[in-house]
Amino acid sequence: MEHKHIISVLVLHKPGVLQRISGLFTRRWFNISSMTVGSTENPDVARMTIVVQGDDTVLEQVVKQLNKLVEVIKVTDLNSKKSVQRELCLVKVYAPTEDSKSQVIQYANIFRGKIIDLSTETLTVEITGDEQKVNAFLDLVRPMGIKEIARTGLTALMRGSKILKSNKA
Amino acid sequence: MKGAEAMMKALEAENVKVLFGYPGGQLLPFYDALYHSDLVHILTRHEQAAAHAADGYARASGNVGVCVATSGPGATNLVTGVATAHADSSPVVALTGQVPTKLIGNDAFQEIDALGIFMQITKHNFQIQKTSEIPKIFRKAFEIAKTGRPGAVHVDLPKDVQDNELDLEKYPIPAEINLQGYKPTKFGHPLQIKKAVELMKIAQRPVIIAGGGVQIANATPELIKLSEYAQIPACTTLMGKGVFPEEHSLALGLVGMHGTQASNYSVYESDVLIAIGCRFSDRITGDISTFAPNAKIIHIDIDPAEIGKNVRVDIPIVGDAKAILKDILIYLMKKEIANKTEWMENVKKLQKKSLPIMEFDNTPIKPQKVIKEMMNAIREVDPSLTNTVLTTDVGQNQMWMAHYFQTSAPKSFISSGGQGTMGFGFPAAIGAKFARPDANVIAVTGDGGFLMNSQELATIAEYEIPVIVVIFDNRTLGMVYQWQNLYYGKRQCAVHLGETPDFIKLAESYGIDASRVEKPEDINEAFKTALNSGKPYLIDIIIDPAEALHMVPPGGNMTNILFPERQEPTPKAQCFSEMKKILNPKV
Ligand SMILES: Cc1ncc(C[n+]2csc(CCOP(=O)(O)OP(=O)(O)O)c2C)c(N)n1
């Protein structure tokens, strides 16, 4: 059955690693929904959170092929673990009147979003949450007119005190 | 010392004796350092051949082969050879020159993104950015190439990195290297091994498929022991050819698309299939749903990603084939093995059915006959055929050889499997000769494939490298023409080589002795002369172009073997006249 899989990948923080990984996905026809990269507590290590669409066989291959890469330190399928997931979304909403502006502000408050920019015609809201929450907010403001959206894609960590350590050490 | 000198030191530390390469502007410091070193450099006449030679060296020796090419076009000319090596898990380190670091990214003369190009066709690759990184990166490159599942590794060498000074005392060549993200597994999981043994013990109709992994792991003795102790017949993939002696009573021969009946039927009927170091490529399985439909599959492989990739596996064992087979034997040899008289009888029947017919006295000569005579002639100088290394090209010549030539020693049958690269066979033989200088090294090739790297005649002539080239000359791109006949209504398109060069004159123009064979009774003599000459030699054998191979259609059930009828080539004359119109529009 097709699923979305959230995969957390620790990689050496080196130039070319992103290309290696994205090249692998292209070549093997793995279907990426999103990919985020950023630094970690260790300056030599970066974390990638990759959301892949596919059945369990695809997931198994994604994990195994990623593990083959020399610069990959650890690959974990977060679906099998309890995890926290967040995405950041910036959305510019059309709100030319005072009424519409206060409406957006109200929605943003409910969703614990922040207004981070304002113009005569628009409001820009910053919203974080899991995918569902972000989607729900966007659905809410869509009728008012969404001018522009920027989403980061999911980033995630395991819940609790457990951490990912290299399985290759 | 200069970076380039440190590179020579690093190569020497890796026990490299010979490099195959082609110089250029961005490699001038490298070649200058080479001039002052004791390393042997073989100047091939094309970079692709340098890569194939390094690959041939690696496959025949089990050690890392090294090739070198300059930046830009030199690097791209290496690509086919590097991809070929990598596809067959051959440890090759490819070095490329690069423009100076300050010019990288500026589209300088002969600049190319070699790092990007080689990334997807190698196990790993590096671009050295600072001279001080040389010792470590060279060590890493060789370590990655030869350990775990071997493969190709590429290192890009900007010119200034070669030129700048390096203090080797401050940055020594490390003996051990710790690669954080790279830890290949050697030993199999004991629990999995026990499970596999239980299955092998009770199996009624077991079969082994031995692949290239057995070759790489030098696991032939263990494989034979397992097969004999538990009475398990063994077939091999193209990459595995040689790991199980083909005259052995439990040998089934080649498996897959061009496999023997014995192999394909045994696999189909098996109840336990033991795959060792093979990746279940589509050429082996055909239609997955009809592949070994009733078998429990034990898959032994050093690369975890191979397990479950193409076929479902019941018992996966990750690790080195030799180590795992040793462990299996320890447990298994304490057990009673189920009686398999019935299976053995069945296998014998299949083996009998698969016996090839090789005695023909027709003209034009049949390829089967060539191979038979070839074996006879070799046996006169090498009775067990163990001191002979064969390389093949790609096409019918390759499959005929895989079928009819009986190999009984590992690392003695070298062929491009994963990529099926035409032009591979001849230059690979050059490399193999350096790995096995005492062996008879023979390259068997089609006329099409030979023409793809025939310029290397200059190399073997110049250095007097005693390699024998055997051309299965059918004036067609045989394998393609056969497929067109079978699957495209006999429409032969772009497969006629027509007026191939006079290969004898071609060889002689390089100063190489050669003979043409047109009658079956002359084959033996030609081989004898070649084998005894101790010099480079070319044999051009005019074979029957209508001879076709038996095969299973791609994606088919492996027991539906097709024996195509003879089909004469019929060059399409009209295309020729159309072409004349383009070249002479006024006429
Ligand atoms: C570089 C390359 N180009 C094209 C092919 C496709 N191909 C496979 S077999 C073959 C025909 C080979 O003809 P020849 O070398 O004369 O050998 P034969 O089959 O006649 O023995 C071709 C064109 C290939 N494998 N490699």
Every domain of chain B and the residues it spans: 3-163, 190-354, 367-542
**Confidence band, pLDDT 50/70/90 cuts, at residue B32:** very high
Residue B300 clears pLDDT 80, i.e. is over it: yes
Ligand 1 atom at minimum distance from B398 CA: 21
In this structure, which amino acid lies at residue B213? G
Residues of B with active-site annotation = 47, 109-110, 159, 479
Q: Is the pLDDT of residue B97 over 60?
A: yes
* pLDDT above 50: residue B516: yes
Closest alpha carbon within chain A to B309: A61
Condensed to tens digits (0 to 9), the pLDDT of residues B203-215 reads 999 999 999 999 9
The whole-angstrom separation of Cα A47 and Cα A60 is: 19
Mutate which of A68, A164, A165, A166 to disrupt the B interface (most B C-beta within 10 Å)?
Answer: A68
pLDDT at B390: 98
d(CA A52, CA B123): 23
- The type of residue at B492 is Q
Residue A43 touches partner B, C-beta closer than 8 Å = no
pLDDT average, residue stretch A63-73: 95
* Predicted complex ipTM: 0.90
Sheet hosting strand B468-473, strand order edge to edge: B413-414, B388-392, B440-446, B468-473, B537-542, B513-517
Residues above pLDDT 70, as percent of chain B: 99
Q: Is residue A167 over pLDDT 60?
A: no
Phi, psi of A143 (to 5 degrees): -60, -25
Q: What phi, psi does B136 have (nearest 5°)? A: -65, -45
What is the structure's pLDDT at B581?
A: 86
Element (H, E) at A74: strand A72-77
Give CA separation, B299 vs B110, B270, B273, B304, in Å.
46, 14, 8, 10
Q: Where are the domains of chain A?
A: 3-78, 84-155
Residue B180, C-beta contacts closer than 8 angstroms, at least 6 positions apart: A12, A73, A166, A168, A169
Tell me which residue in A11, A19, A70 faces B182 most closely, judged by beta carbons: A70
Cα atoms in the Cβ-side hemisphere of radius 13 Å centred on A124: 11
- Where residue A80 falls among pLDDT bands split at 50, 70, 90? confident
Residue B506 has φ and ψ, to the nearest 5°, of -60, -50
Say yes or no for a CB contact (<8 Å) between B179 and A70: yes
Instruction: Please answer whether residues B69 and B45 qualify as being in contact, where contact means their C-beta atoms are separated by less than 8 angstroms.
Output: no
- A57 touches B at CB < 8 Å: yes
User: Looking at the predicted structure, is the pLDDT value of residue B440 above 70?
Assistant: yes
pLDDT tens-digit readout, B176-205: 888 988 999 999 999 999 999 999 999 999
Superfamily classification of domain B367-542: Thiamin diphosphate (ThDP)-binding fold, Pyr/PP domains (3.40.50.970)
User: B126: which strand partners?
Assistant: B155
The rounded distance, in Å, linking the Cα atoms of A30 and A23 is: 10
Residue B154: strand, helix, or coil: strand
What's the pLDDT at B573?
64
The reply to whether B3-163 and B367-542 are identical in fold is: yes
Which residue among B116, B127, B305 sits closest to A61, beta carbon to beta carbon?
Answer: B305
- What CATH homologous superfamily does A3-78 map to? ACT domain (3.30.70.260)
Which atom, in ligand 1's list, is nearest to the CA of B481?
Answer: 11
Helix H or strand E segment including B327: helix B321-332
- Beta pairing partners, B472: B446, B541
pLDDT on residue B472: 98
Class of domain A84-155 (CATH, top level): alpha beta
Provide the greatest CA pair distance for chain A.
60
Report which of residues B44 and B569 the model is more confident about: B44
Give the nearest partner residue to A73 out of B181, B307, B309, using CB atoms.
Answer: B181
Q: Residue B397 — pLDDT band, cuts 50, 70, 90?
A: very high
Rounded distance, CA B72 to CA B338, Å?
61
Q: Report residue B514 as tokens.
A: 């050669």
The whole-angstrom separation of Cα B478 and Cα B580 is: 26
Which residues of chain A does B144 touch, with a Cβ-Cβ cutoff of 8 Å? Answer: 70
Which stretch of DSSP H or E encloses residue B150? none
On the question of pLDDT at B574 being above 70, the answer is no
- Asked if the C-beta of A70 comes within 8 angstroms of chain B's C-beta atoms, the answer is yes
Position B70 pLDDT exceeds 90:
yes
Q: Which two tokens stand for residue B86?
A: 């990598």
Fold exhibited by the domain B3-163: Rossmann fold (3.40.50)
Q: What is the pLDDT of residues B138-154, one digit of tens each?
A: 999 999 999 999 999 99
Q: What is the CA radius of gyration of chain B?
A: 25
- Decide if B41 contacts B88 (C-beta within 8 A): no
What CATH homologous superfamily does B190-354 map to? Answer: TPP-binding domain (3.40.50.1220)
User: What's the gap in Å between the CA of B144 and the closest CA on chain A?
Assistant: 9
A103 in contact with B, Cβ within 8 Å: no
C-beta B81 within 6 A of ligand 1 = no
Indicate if A84-155 has the same CATH topology as A3-78.
yes
Distance of alpha carbon B507 from alpha carbon B499, whole angstroms: 16
What is the Cα–Cα distance from A95 to B411, expressed in whole angstroms?
Answer: 74
- The pLDDT assigned to B265 comes to 96
* CA distance linking residue A158 with residue A166, whole number of Å: 15
Across the strands, what pairs with B562?
B551
Band of the pLDDT at B20, cuts 50, 70, 90? Answer: very high
Which atom of ligand 1 lies closest to the CA of B447?
16
Question: Is pLDDT at A1 greater than 80 in this prediction?
Answer: no
If one counts every other C-beta atom within 10 angstroms of the C-beta of residue B85, the result is: 37
Mean pLDDT of chain B: 95
For residue B41, give both structure tokens. 């450099």
Q: Which residues contact B437 (CB under 8 A, 6 or more apart)?
A: none
Q: How confident is the model at residue A169 (pLDDT cuts 50, 70, 90)?
A: very low
Q: What is the mean pLDDT of residues B38-62?
A: 98
